[in-house]
């Protein structure tokens, strides 16, 4: 089992460009999450998906959109990147009854 | 609002010198308290879940305990490979649109360095 995979691992964007971060899990989990991690701010929830076809905003959703394509895949889109979105982005999936979240390796994004 | 505070921010130990990391929390409707380990450039790695006060869990040199207000991660006879950032998180329950969801709130982490 690969667990949670994310692509790309690194990305540099210019202000105003768009991109999609991809996430997939092979653990048959219903719930999936997107977080960003910034120095001094810890991990903050961007969006959440309780099941295929549903998504909800987290703590810092502005500037982002998500798509739960199917049970395995949950993507995060930046429509018009801003320098404030420079961060490390993590995707996670969660077990149903024990609420344990398993994280991917992250995408390091720099917006210039 | 759920809150998690970890202390100390950084901890330096000699190999074999046991110590504890603290996680203080306030949460509405605790579903669980989680400990993660994060190595530089990697995603958080799940260590433990604690669900109720008085619960304890162990894994190798690590032992996690839980009270109603805080959790401790005890490290016994640490080795250099235990060096990492240790993250504490609580999952509370919140309801939006008539649906119940879990919400994970992380602390800032404790950076542990174990010197040989």
Bridge partner list, A6: A23
Predicted local distance difference test score (pLDDT) of residue A40: 82
Contact yes or no for B107 and A42 at CB 8 A:
yes
Residue B99 in this model has a pLDDT that exceeds 80: no
Alpha-carbon distance B49 to B66, whole Å?
Answer: 10
User: Please, what is the average pLDDT of chain A?
Assistant: 94
Q: Does A30 touch chain B (CB under 8 A)?
A: no
A98 burial class (0-12, 13-18, 19+ CB within 10 angstroms)?
A: exposed
Q: For residue range A26-68, what is the model confidence (pLDDT) as tens digits?
A: 999 999 999 999 988 889 999 999 889 899 998 899 999 999 9
Instruction: Identify which of A43, A50, A102 has the shortest CB distance to residue B106.
Output: A43
Interface A–B counts its CB contacts (< 8 A) at 52
Contact assessment for residue B25 and residue B91, using Cβ atoms and an 8 Å cutoff = no
- Average pLDDT rounded to a whole number, residues B94-106: 71
Q: DSSP labels for A49-64?
A: ESSTT--EE-S--TTE
Predicted local distance difference test score (pLDDT) of residue B95: 66
Contact assessment for residue B87 and residue B44, using Cβ atoms and an 8 Å cutoff = yes
B50: closest CA of chain A, how far (Å)? 10
- Average pLDDT rounded to a whole number, residues B25-48: 94
Predicted local distance difference test score (pLDDT) of residue A97: 82
Contact yes or no for A102 and B46 at CB 8 A:
yes
């Amino acid at each position: 089992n690969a667990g949670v995979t994310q692509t790309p691992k690194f990305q540099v964007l210019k202000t105003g460009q768009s991109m999609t971060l991809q996430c997939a899990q092979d653990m048959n989990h219903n719930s999936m999450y997107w977080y960003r991690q910034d120095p001094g701010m810890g991990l903050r929830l961007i969006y959440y998906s309780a099941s295929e076809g549903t998504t909800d905003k987290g703590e810092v959703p502005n500037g982002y959109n998500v798509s739960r394509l199917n049970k395995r895949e949950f993507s995060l889109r930046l429509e018009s990147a801003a320098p404030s979105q420079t961060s490390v982005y993590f995707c996670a999936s969660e077990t149903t009854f024990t609420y344990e979240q398993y994280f991917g390796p992250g995408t390091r994004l720099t917006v210039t | 609002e759920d809150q998690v505070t970890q202390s100390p921010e950084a901890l330096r130990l000699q190999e074999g010198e046991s110590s504890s990391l603290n996680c203080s929390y306030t949460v509405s409707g605790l579903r669980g308290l989680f400990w993660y380990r994060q190595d530089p450039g990697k995603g958080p790695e799940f260590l433990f879940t604690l669900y109720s006060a008085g619960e304890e869990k162990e894994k190798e040199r690590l032992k996690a305990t839980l009270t109603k207000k805080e959790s401790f991660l005890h490290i016994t006879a640490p080795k250099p490979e235990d060096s990492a950032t240790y993250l504490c998180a609580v999952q509370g329950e919140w309801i939006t649109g008539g649906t119940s969801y879990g919400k994970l709130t992380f602390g800032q982490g404790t950076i542990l360095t174990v010197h040989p």
